[in-house]
Chains A and B, each alone.
Chain A
């Protein structure tokens, strides 16, 4: 089972002065079980792309095949949108803004009800979805979504998608606007959901540090095209090219780069902070087994701090 996208083009407001081509011939194959990260600038076409996977835009040209549900530009052939939307679950940015029912239970039930399931199945799925996102079903089901905290609202909104039991889960900036603790929770929730419910996950994120934590493959969008489509460890070998199109690279990659410039021999591809820590420990052990102390490695702790906060500052720009 695969998602295959062939030569996808899309233009907003065609034939007006506001015309803008958002997608320019995108080809992409996503395999079942992929944990795909998508990064790219605002306006690079990544959001437009993922909305296509859910049939939210009428296809203008190209072909999309989502687990054998076919989308074509031909108007006469009606695609099975209901089945598609049950297969691909789409969590938009700030999903809590889509809550509208007076109780959490009813809101989560909206999706499965629209799929035409019977009442028993709906309530079974609602209960499971609420529990999957880590909320207490009995405690929360009769509360109004508007009286919950920000993090809880977002969980309820995600539960509303999960209740449709999609095979593919797409999340657009799932941690936007949350505090570090809330981010952490949503990230571990996504990993949990991949294991328990939706085996294929696609996440759009601005935060490369975040995406390196879980994705096994990263697609970079730039100017409506796929610029890179690589496994995580290979992508950041192209750090300079990414920088050229204005994309950040993970902190760990930056630190590793600086260390290497200073003559520290770090082995392997370093992407996450854990990789970095591991590589530093290996390098340190290696040095000290040889009993030759390198003067270069003897920089003060103060300087090291400065390097890190320096890169931090750039991140926040």
Chain B
């Protein structure tokens, strides 16, 4: 249960951790958008280099970041296989029935897999370096302009932070209930799928009961203290942009610029490299 690597804060106190969470959210968005503009292997190398640098600065073990890809390994392999078999472009290597494996297909499949895994690694870096509370604060602050079109931004932020706040508690609860049922001889980790699902019932039912009870108690506690989400509320920790955020922004901007240059100016640096080697060979 505890080894869920995706979305777990990893405290090292590095400069990346201390960046303004709003800046980090924006950087992540820039990163996500940029990665869809990568067209060449050189571009992917730049992305990997960028992530490795962020890892190094934030002192997060690269092993942990790589682990976050494990969660989506299935989706990655699935899309790669589909791409290899059905993406039709370039020189045909194998042809059988409706399946056609082409050079272009393999190229596309590799690039897609790289894109998905780098995307997940990049976003997991955000959750490794930012606490869930900081994240909700950042999102609330970033969504503020929507207030003018009557979107209940604060309510949304409150719901998000409550949901996040419940996750560790519910995980602990799941652990406890699982232990209790194991102590009564329940076999939770063994057997086939149907057996496993059935074996989860003694865990799920008490878990739902307790989740509903907790939610009810929390709602009462909020009411009892006259909590009102819509009034002008102040914050204990004010978010402030500083010089290091600006420095980080420049770093991200350089990265994004490189990727866009590769796409629009060079049209993918791969062909240049191929030509360069061809030149050497003769």
User: Any chain A CB within 8 A of the CB of B176?
Assistant: yes
Taking the nearest CB of chain A, how far is it from the CB of B202, in angstroms?
5
Stretch at the interface among B71-79, B129-137, B182-190, B233-241: B182-190
By a CB distance below 8 angstroms, the chain A residues around B176 are 92, 97
Instruction: Give the residue of B2, B177, B182, B187 whose beta carbon is less than 8 angstroms from that of A56.
Output: B182
Contact with A along B1-45 (1 / 0, CB 8 A): 010000000111000000000000000000000000000000000
* Listed stretches A109-117, A180-188, A265-273; interface member: A109-117
In the complex, chain A residues whose CB is within 8 Å of the CB of B281: none
The answer to whether B215 has its CB under 8 Å from any CB of chain A is no
Contact flags (1/0) for A93-131 with B, using CB distance below 8 Å?
001011110000000001100110000000000000000
Q: How far is the CA of A100 from the CA of B178 in the complex (A)?
A: 12
Give 6 new A-B contacts, CB below 8 A, not counting A100-B202, A110-B184: A85-B183, A92-B179, A92-B183, A111-B184, A114-B187, A161-B184
Interface residues of B (CB under 8 A from A): 2, 10-12, 173, 176-177, 179-187, 201-202, 205-206, 209-210
B182: chain A residues within 8 A (beta carbon): 56, 85
| Cβ-neighbour of A110 out of B173, B186, B210 (below 8 A) | B186
Query: Of all chain B residues, which has the CB nearest A157?
Result: B180
Question: Known interface pairs A98-B206, A99-B206. Does A13 touch B2 (Cβ–Cβ under 8 Å)?
Answer: yes
Annotate A45-85 by CB proximity to B: 1 below 8 A, 0 otherwise.
00000010010100000000000000000000000001001
Are A17 and B202 within 8 A (Cβ)?
A: no
Number of interface residues of A (CB under 8 A): 24
B201 pairs with A97, CB closer than 8 A: no
Is residue A164 within 8 Å, beta carbon to beta carbon, of the partner chain?
Answer: yes
Q: What is the bound-complex CA distance between A115 and B187, given in angstroms? A: 10
Smallest beta-carbon distance A109→chain B, Å: 10
List, in ascending order, chain B residues with CB within 8 A of A90's CB. Answer: 180, 183
Closest A residue to B201 using CB positions: A100
Contact of A82 among B173, B180, B185 (CB under 8 A): B185
| Contact between chains at A17 and B10 (CB < 8 Å) | yes
The answer to whether A85 and B185 touch across the interface, beta carbons within 8 angstroms, is yes
